[in-house]
Chain A
Amino acid sequence: MTDRQDDLEAQFAQWRQYVQRRREMRQSDAEELEDHLRGSVDELVAAGLHADEAFLVAVKRMGSLDELSREFAREHSERLWKQLVLTGGTDSPAADTRSRRDLLTMALCAAGAAASIKVPELFGMSLEEDGAFYGPNVGLFVLPWLAAFLAWRRHATKALIGVLLALFALGAVAANAYPLADDSQSVVLTGIHLPIALWFVVGLAYVADDVRAPRRRMDFIRFTGEWFVYYVLIALGGGVLIAFVFGTFEAIGISPEGFIAQWVLPCGAAAAVVVAGWLVEAKQSVVENIAPVLTRLFTPLFTAALLAFLVTLGVTSGGIDVEREALILFDLLLVVVLALLLYSISARDPLAPPGLFDKLQLALVVSALVIDVLVLLEITGRITEYGTTPNKAAALGENVILLANLAWSAWLLLGLVRRRTPFAVLERWQTAYLPVYATWAWIVVLVFPPLFNYL
């Protein structure tokens, strides 16, 4: 008899799971319906049915879950719009406490980041005049707090926290230990590459729970894209806020310019780094990832633009004017193409057969490659002619790294389109390549200044 009771309970549990999987139904709805089902079963058992028969009949009577949830959706249409519940309002108390603790830790880390950016002022630095100090150091004020938040969320081990601290300390050394002139190229290079290097340290904190898993690395790529989108959105909102503060205070004869430039803007920008990271974590399963959607929109457009450029170049046969700016521009172009590739990989169903979109991507990558090879031929000629500088070396190095990645990606994409290579290989290639970017950023930050005599 108890066996039979257990069976019945197992059936109820399974049924409950089915119901809870429906977005239209909340936990309390599932409980209410379960009570209904139990009432039905009790009545059927009283009428002489066995428990399992009664269960089947009762479920059958309730009708299909599809129909049931359609009816629920008509009353609760707001549930189909996934809402981001910051705290409270979720169904399980455990998730509630967790999200509240997340919120608290995020607030602490954001406040820490905002305060950090103001700390140098205690030592007589000023945002306006000491650009050569703030430029390379800005990542060091902010990103450790984001890493701290992520490491806290992932319950990072002591060893990993030690590694994180050591890497941030190394970053601090790289930014401040070398005797660089305020207007040297290396200061600018460090200012660009140190945040990138530190972002990969944040990545290490992100994958803290499973450092070696490629899946986690792909998650970090997704995190990066979503973080960027959120940061831009927050910045837009912040801009509107500042405009209103400015306008309203001006209207009553008080100029808030100094306050905004000294406090609101730097502290807000620093805190937003942590807030955006927290938002991505909090909404992971709530809002559709936006970066892959943007990728879908822009992949065809970029492909068309690049092909148009190639055709025009072929027709006019004027050659590319390769100044330093041009090299950086083409570096950025490769970064964009790589990002388009990465984010569509991040959102692609690994088992889906190759489709039109994969072919489009192959076209995009190949045309970017052709353009880049033309640029590279041009630039190496220049370098051998005039000698090298830190800027040229960095830009060239990046170009080669991106080129290598895209060339092999193109080969794998070709295999994918011809159904020779499974998609997973492409995915693994991209995640395995991540350390290369990190290593390069660290090399530029650590090795370049002494290599080029602190130029």
Chain B
Amino acid sequence: MKVTKDLVAASATPMVLGILAEADSYGYAILRRINELSGGELDWTEGLLYPLLHRLERLGHVESSWQSVAGERRRKYYRITPSGLAELAEQRRQWDTVVGALKEIWRGAGDSRPLIAIPLEGQA
């Protein structure tokens, strides 16, 4: 299964901001993390990631700096800013709405018992 390009693009910003909210990181590690989180299903390219990081930097949602952590190469690390955290909260609210609505619909279609509530579990 491949996630379509449009969906990857739409979810890119909250995903990157979310990862950076966990900890400061650099491009390669972010890509690895996304791969790990999606079990390899999300096909991110460098052409998507780096321009996105640069755009978030331009908008002031992240900051970058070249750092060398002991024993590693010098790398460009990204850190989320307060405005990035606010953006993440806003995106999260929107995604919760979308995901919540989709779940309602699919539960109805999936088992033909539309009005019985199933507890929502394990969803981000």
Q: Hey, which bits of chain A sit against chain B, CB under 8 A?
A: 28-29, 31-33, 35-36, 38-40, 62-63, 67-68, 70-72, 74-76
Beta-carbon contact of A32 and B51 below 8 Å: no
What's the Cα separation between A39 and B73 when bound, in Å? 10
Beta-carbon contact of A67 and B51 below 8 Å: no
- What residues on A are CB-neighbors of B31 within 8 Å? 36
**Within the complex, which residue of B27, B48, B54, B55 is in contact with A36, where a contact is CB–CB below 8 Å?**
B27
Give the 8 A-B residue pairs with the shortest CB-CB distance, closest first. A71-B47, A39-B28, A75-B51, A68-B47, A36-B28, A32-B76, A71-B51, A75-B55
> How many B residues touch A, CB cutoff 8 Å?
19
Beta-carbon contact of A35 and B46 below 8 Å: no
- Judge whether B45 is part of the interface by a CB distance below 8 angstroms: yes
Interface pairs (14), CB distance under 8 Å: A33-B46, A35-B27, A35-B28, A35-B75, A36-B46, A39-B28, A62-B45, A63-B45, A68-B46, A68-B47, A70-B47, A71-B47, A71-B48, A72-B50
Q: Which residue of B lies closest to A72 (CB)?
A: B51
From B26, B50, B55, name the one whose CB has the most chain A CB atoms within 10 angstroms.
B50
Q: Given A32-B27, A75-B54: A38 and B73 within 8 A (CB)?
A: yes
- What residues on B are CB-neighbors of A75 within 8 Å? 51-52, 54-55, 58
Beta-carbon contact of A35 and B73 below 8 Å: yes
- What residues on B are CB-neighbors of A38 within 8 Å? 73
What's the minimum C-beta distance from B33 to chain A, rounded to whole angstroms?
12
Beta-carbon contact of B46 and A31 below 8 Å: no
- What residues on B are CB-neighbors of A29 within 8 Å? 50, 54
1/0 contact trace for B14-32 toward A, CB 8 Å?
A: 0000000000001111010
What's the minimum C-beta distance from A242 to chain B, rounded to whole angstroms?
39
Q: Which residue of A lies closest to B51 (CB)?
A: A75
Beta-carbon contact of B47 and A67 below 8 Å: yes
Contacts A33-B46, A71-B45 known; 16 new A-B pairs at CB < 8 A: A29-B50, A33-B50, A35-B27, A35-B73, A35-B74, A36-B46, A36-B50, A62-B46, A67-B47, A70-B47, A71-B48, A72-B50, A75-B51, A75-B55, A75-B58, A76-B51
